[in-house]
Structure 1
Amino acid sequence: MFGDRRLFRYVLRELAGPSLLAVLAYSFLLLMNELLLIAQQALAKNLPFAMALKLLVLALPPILTLSIPMSVLLAVLIAVGRMSSDHEWTAIQAAGRGPGTMVKPLAAYGFFAAALAFGVFNYLVPTTQQRARAVKAQITLSTNLAADLRPRQWEVTGNHHIIVDEIQATDQRRLQRIVLASHEPHRLSIVFAGSGDIFPAPDRPGTLVIDLYNAIRHDFELRHVETYRISSWDFLRETIPPPPYFKQLLEPQAKIAATMPLDELWTEYRAAREGVAVADRKAATLGRERISDQILANARHVRSVVELNRRAALPLACLFFAILGAPLGLTQVRSGKGAGFSISMLIIVVYYVTFTFFEGLSIRQKFPIWLGSWMGNLILVPWIAWAYWKLRRPPRHEIGWIGRFYGFGIRLLRHVRSRLSTKTAPPLESEAPEKALADLAGTTNRFIRRTDRYVGARFLRTLSLAVLAAATLFMLFEVKDALEEVFKRQQPISLVFRYLGFILLERIPEILPLGCLAGAVVTITALTRTGELTALKANGISLRRIGLPILALAAGLSVMLFMLGNTVIPTATRNARELHDQIKGKPPATRGFPRTGNWTFGPKGERLYHYDYYDAQKDEFHALRVLTLDPTRRFILDHRFAERARYRDASGWELEGGWFIEFAADGKWATHQESYEGTYSVVLDSPDTFAPNTGRSLTRNKTEYSHVLTLAEISERITDLTERGYDVTSLRVAWHGKFAESVRPFVMVLLGLPFAFRAGRKGSLYGIGIALVLAIVYTAVFSGFNALGLESALEPVLAVWAPNVLFGLFGAYLLLYVPT
């Protein structure tokens, strides 16, 4: 009994380290995107460090609901696999103990993890979601357009568009050369001002006040030139009301089943069940088979039942994973490291795909609503039974017909190769043994080339496994959301597979550097533990020379990443965005266009264009408005409007309907106006100069330029927008990022090698931990510098290249002082 208790505690101690590492690794990978967004938001809105840290902490509990079960499986496979590879399991069997000795501590571990996940899922997640919403509302209430306004960038808030040429450094609220366009139904107001101030209204949350000096205001109905009015003001005060979502932040949010604590969810379930009964009685009284009240009540009941079962099924997966990990770790994962990752990824994919698929069927009421969430666990039951049956089956020496066929093929291949070989028989014993050894080993260069091939192949195998694990983890959550949307809209499942193919290519710049870092560190630590590194040093090969093939392969991968970033990845990203919109039920052609139309400057800022909509199929603009500006941009020289506009060729445009007004030299009154019927021709700028997105659907997120556009396209846009007076900081960051992101695999390997050489014989698990810590630090620094560049706090070239230069020099410095 005493021995059983010691074994019980020993197994639990073995699980502690891998569990902590696995939770940290999975949580970091899933939190990476949120970390980048929070860093950018913190710098853009000048958030204090405590507020940014609070946002990051509040984003963690929803991720823990997934990372805890995944970590349980990986930790069990690593710990049990290590015990098996070190023959500790053989010693336990020799002491007369069977699989139950391992199952008891693992079951206790699984119950503990399930209880922890249950508490996180049912109490911590709902609470943090409400807190996160409150914090985000607080940020939104405390920051506004007055703080976010940037020079030469159109800002849209509700029905108002505003752009300023300059913000004085001495006073961030003092604006120079302002254009304010206010849209109302069938009416438009445009104000040009020499200077002004913008600040939040003290007594009306969310409302902005703009004080304008030396202002000229144009006010008119959209299609009636006779309503055109011009007024000039020495001082004009305008107010911008808060957008609709701002008002919603001030109101208490109605909870849904997914955001309710367990006690509230149970109350919701009972109320939904009672609502179904009431709706059924009402339908029976009216003599109808089905009424709208029944549909709504039934949908509410289904959601509550599915959510209740989901809250229990996901945490209980920890117990199933822990029990399944014992036989798999003892029989399949004898190395306890790389194989543990691969098998854990396979099991996780099978579990979550099954879980998502059947839960979607339950929500659509095509499967028992209480059973769908449990199918992921139930599919593990036969797997567990088979694994324990195989573990307890007496060992047999026969290998089956597949093994015999494989052995026969290998023997036949060796026989044929020996017959075809031109080599003679081995030398007789009378010949000089030194010559025989020299012929066998070859020259020193040949030995080093063999060593390079061996180390390089080892690195590529580990890299492939790390990339596969990271890609599977990213794809897992993409497929979950995509399947839910496909089921909801009854779309073909082939959309999901096409989307995943494109999104996988889009993720390559994020996955490949992490895979290179993990591959390099794990390869070196594995060579150290097996003694191969010592043997190589004994033959006169230095540690730096051993790392050379890994660095060379990383450099090659960096070149490949640069080539992919300018060919395959931009196209894949665009296709992924289009498929994402299609899955979400959004028309791709309209994404990124404000409801009030698009305002943009023409070449050199001489004209201001506005159009409500661009019809790509007909290649025409609807409600095109062209304002010719004076050189100071303080008033309008003329104003042209057309119902429809089509660009024919360099000779001009074909306009349909509309009117034209010409103003005095100071822009304060109209000197000429006329209306048009039918079609007519005018000479304006080419549409490519003010609407470069015509005919294409590209994201406008400034953080995605480097993935969506090629290097040539970014350069073209920088030149075009610079001539028109726009701020191109984000594009310059993306241009330099094309080069800097391609170097990241090499930098990560250069940074990881010194730590791997210093790890000694602590094994691959220690190496994975080192790689994880380095990846966290590098990502945090990269995110901070990138956000500083986007906010113009640093020069783009410095913001993008600084992390690579700093970490590269640090890694090279440490590599020089590795004891070799």
Structure 2
Amino acid sequence: MKIIDWYILKRYLGTFFVMIMLFIPIGIAIDVAEKINKILENGIPLIEVLGYYGNFTIYFANMLFPIFLFISIIWFTSKLAGNTEIVAILSSGISYMRFLRPYIIGATFIFIFSLLMGFFIVPKASLGYNDFKFKYLKRKEIRQTQNVFKQISKNEFIYVSNFSYSDKTGYNFTLEKFDGFNLVSKIEAGRIVYNDSTKDYTLYNYQKRTVGKLDDVIEKEPVKKVKFNFEVDDLTPAIYAAETMTLTELNKFIEKEKMRGSANINAYLVVKYKKYSVPVSAFILTIIAVAVSSMKRRGGMGVNLAMGIGLAFTYIFFDKIFGTLAEASSINPLFAVWFPNVVFGILAVYLLNNAKR
């Protein structure tokens, strides 16, 4: 690498991390101001609050890194353009694509860093962040609780009309076992309660019908303890469960939820695909930011920053809208997650060609 490469690369990475260090404390201050009353009212231990804000830092830095990256590139590239350094670089015989090389190298570093963070570190931070929020601040159901229908094995299906995770209790419980298309047995109970200590279930108004060749066998008991091959967390995973898993765990979880006919499967797939699409955006946003800010404008850096912030928030808007549509409708999650990158990738190519001319 030449001196010019090191010069731009150091500014690329340095400005990006300084931007994160500047904005994260602002985000923490706003969050503290919003939640301080609940924290004091609930008497939350200081060590848990500090842990929460450690996780908060990782969680939101990962979520907003496209904006931080975009603004930081526009900031220092506009300064280069304002000081006519880019004109001097290009006038020395270096092509625009050669000038862009250190930016692509920097984007590669950010891509790898973001990919590893999303696979291994962010999920653990997300678990701590969400657990704290729902334990102390929101205190509301975070799971599917109405008409829960799951396939728990190749030939077993369960159903509860209503489920309360706080006291591990379900109502109008049914478990059906099949052999191909033939019903083998059916267990019903008016109420089912999970026992944490013994890892089994207590069924009230228990009834089991075993289908025979000539006659059915019916067993009834007021109260009966039964051990099933599923746990409460398998039955009703938290809505943020996918965010808290590493890539390997997430792939296994999605396969299990597909088998069980989960209603939230699209939401889980959106989380999986974003682990790849968000890091890839580093290349797209880098090219757009350089193309927009490498020209010296009459309005100076302010015009470039305004354009950059507008484009960055448009990207985030597209990303959130299509992600939400995929979770709430039949839109293909893969299409929804990658659509913003495709649109802004086309924009990046157009702006790059325009900047080269």
Using the size of structure 1 for normalisation, the TM-score is 0.38
> Of residues 245, 262, 281 in structure 2, which corresponds to 1:726?
262
Cα displacement (A) at 1:660? 2.2
Q: Which runs of 5+ in 1 are unaligned?
A: 1-447
CA distance in 2, matches of 1:644, 1:793: 34
Query: In 1, are the aligned partners of 2:15 and 2:76 still within 8 Å (CA)?
Result: yes
For 1:332-481, what aligned pairs fall within 5 Å after superposition?
A: 449-481=2-34
For 1:596-611, what aligned pairs fall within 5 Å after superposition?
A: 600-604=150-154, 606-610=156-160
Cα displacement (A) at 1:494? 4.6
Q: Is 1:628 aligned to residue 165 of structure 2?
A: no
Q: Is 1:780 aligned to residue 330 of structure 2?
A: no
Q: Is 1:709 aligned to residue 242 of structure 2?
A: no
Cα displacement (A) at 1:613? 5.9
**1:691 to 1:780, Cα distance in 2 relative to 1, 3 A:** closer
Q: Is 1:801 aligned to residue 338 of structure 2?
A: yes
Q: Is 1:810 aligned to residue 347 of structure 2?
A: yes
Root mean square deviation of aligned Cα? 3.9
Cα displacement (A) at 1:733? 2.2
Cα displacement (A) at 1:593? 4.7
Cα deviation, 1:440-482, whole Å, max 9, x if unaligned, reads xxxxxxxx61111111122233223332343233223211122
Cα deviation, 1:291-323, whole Å, max 9, x if unaligned, reads xxxxxxxxxxxxxxxxxxxxxxxxxxxxxxxxx
**1:451 to 1:607, Cα distance in 2 relative to 1, 3 A:** same
Cα displacement (A) at 1:584? 2.5
Q: Is 1:692 aligned to residue 245 of structure 2?
A: no
Letter in 2 for 1:700: I
Indicate the residue corresponding to 1:638 in structure 2: 186
Query: In 2, are the aligned partners of 1:467 and 1:511 still within 8 Å (CA)?
Result: no
Q: Which has the larger radius of gyration?
A: 1
CA distance in 2, matches of 1:766, 1:671: 80
Q: Which runs of 5+ in 2 are unaligned?
A: none
Taking only the aligned residue pairs, the percentage that are identical comes to: 17
Indicate the residue corresponding to 2:56 in structure 1: 503
Cα deviation, 1:121-171, whole Å, max 9, x if unaligned, reads xxxxxxxxxxxxxxxxxxxxxxxxxxxxxxxxxxxxxxxxxxxxxxxxxxx
CA distance in 2, matches of 1:570, 1:475: 19
In structure 2, the residue corresponding to 1:735 is in which secondary structure?
Answer: helix
For 1:127-166, what aligned pairs fall within 5 Å after superposition?
A: none
Cα displacement (A) at 1:614? 6.6
Cα displacement (A) at 1:744? 1.9
In structure 2, the residue corresponding to 1:674 is in which secondary structure?
Answer: strand
CA distance in 1, matches of 2:144, 2:85: 62
Letter in 2 for 1:600: K
Letter in 1 for 2:284: V
Q: Is 1:661 aligned to residue 208 of structure 2?
A: yes
CA distance in 1, matches of 2:166, 2:187: 23
Cα deviation, 1:343-399, whole Å, max 9, x if unaligned, reads xxxxxxxxxxxxxxxxxxxxxxxxxxxxxxxxxxxxxxxxxxxxxxxxxxxxxxxxx
Letter in 2 for 1:739: Y
Cα displacement (A) at 1:591? 4.4
Q: Is 1:675 aligned to residue 214 of structure 2?
A: no
CA distance in 1, matches of 2:245, 2:326: 19
CA distance in 1, matches of 2:220, 2:338: 56
Query: In 1, are the aligned partners of 2:176 and 2:187 still within 8 Å (CA)?
Result: yes
CA distance in 1, matches of 2:181, 2:31: 47
CA distance in 2, matches of 1:637, 1:818: 70
Using the size of structure 2 for normalisation, the TM-score is 0.82
Query: In 1, are the aligned partners of 2:86 and 2:294 still within 8 Å (CA)?
Result: no
Indicate the residue corresponding to 2:93 in structure 1: 540
**1:581 to 1:800, Cα distance in 2 relative to 1, 3 A:** closer
Q: Is 1:551 aligned to residue 78 of structure 2?
A: no
Query: In 2, are the aligned partners of 1:528 and 1:534 still within 8 Å (CA)?
Result: yes
Query: In 2, are the aligned partners of 1:662 and 1:671 still within 8 Å (CA)?
Result: yes
In structure 1, the residue corresponding to 2:2 is in which secondary structure?
Answer: helix
* Number of residues of Structure 1 aligned to a counterpart in Structure 2: 352
**1:596 to 1:775, Cα distance in 2 relative to 1, 3 A:** closer
Indicate the residue corresponding to 1:749 in structure 2: 286
Indicate the residue corresponding to 1:488 in structure 2: 41
Query: In 2, are the aligned partners of 1:718 and 1:731 still within 8 Å (CA)?
Result: yes
